[in-house]
């Protein structure tokens, strides 16, 4: 049966996450509903990267199997059915063995922080008007790729079998008057990016030393990590695939 990749972007404010859930609205449920309305066939989606409640995405993917040919030009019609805060950016035919989760080689997240009150950023970045030592933030971020086990930065009640992640990039930078944390890895754990950001902000405020941050990394104990930063500052920025598959997603 032909398989398709579905590239999406969404504002996660009004959703309990990316993946379909019982008794809660999700991005997946809205897209499956729109496909059912348009094609009059039930379509079951498989997601690439889960995002938590309130988290946004500039790029994420589903794949699905569909008996018949789908015209990519119909994206406009399906988007007309979807809510205003979800958009399909493209539908791409791929090989029948292609898998949007297992064939992804990396995911990139960015967390946005603004320091001066701005009503236009209220639901897309975290207002944090405190003095921060940026060099300390950068020093803490530079430690992260040196470690593989991120048990300390995973929320509990997770079903994963391993807490090992390969971090390829971890840095802070300033863009458009916002402080941004960028992290790229092969995979992420539940609440991981928010835990890293929240704990590093404690370093930036001088409430935790860089050595103390590294101790938390080593400890494999999430009781000392800070997961309190809100989801609305976090974006899944990019999902990257193998070269051969990437050529099909254009």
Find the catalytic residue in 52, 123, 149, 226. Answer: 52
Residue of 88, 100, 96, 98 lying closest to 33 (CA atoms): 88
Q: Which residues contact 187 (CB under 8 A, 6 or more apart)?
A: 107, 165, 166
149 in catalytic set: no
CA atoms within 13 A of residue 90's CA, in its CB half-sphere: 12
225 within 8 A of 195, measured Cβ to Cβ: yes
Q: What is the set of active-site residues? A: 52
């Amino acid at each position: 049966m032909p398989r398709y990749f579905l590239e999406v972007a969404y504002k996660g404010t009004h959703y309990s996450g990316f993946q379909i859930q019982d008794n809660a609205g999700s991005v997946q449920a809205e897209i499956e509903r729109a496909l059912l309305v348009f094609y009059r066939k039930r379509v079951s989606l498989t997601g690439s990267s889960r995002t938590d409640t309130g988290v946004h995405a500039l790029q994420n993917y589903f794949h699905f199997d569909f008996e018949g040919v789908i015209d990519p030009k119909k994206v406009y019609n399906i988007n007309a059915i979807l809510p205003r805060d979800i958009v399909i950016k493209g539908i791409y035919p791929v090989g029948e063995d292609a898998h949007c989760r297992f064939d992804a080689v990396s995911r990139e997240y960015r967390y946005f922080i603004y320091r001066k009150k701005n009503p236009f950023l209220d639901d897309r970045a975290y207002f944090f008007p405190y003095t921060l030592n940026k060099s300390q933030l950068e020093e803490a971020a530079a430690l992260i790729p040196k470690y593989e086990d991120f048990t300390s930065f995973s929320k509990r009640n997770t079903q994963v079998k391993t807490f090992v992640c390969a971090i390829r990039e971890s840095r802070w930078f300033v863009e458009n008057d916002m402080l941004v944390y960028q992290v790229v890895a092969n995979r992420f754990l539940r609440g991981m990016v928010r835990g890293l950001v929240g704990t590093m902000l404690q370093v930036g405020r001088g409430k935790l030393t860089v050595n103390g941050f590294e101790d938390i990394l080593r400890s494999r104990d999430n009781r000392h990590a800070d997961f309190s930063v809100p989801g609305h500052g976090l974006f899944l920025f990019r999902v990257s695939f193998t070269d051969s598959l990437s050529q099909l997603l254009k």
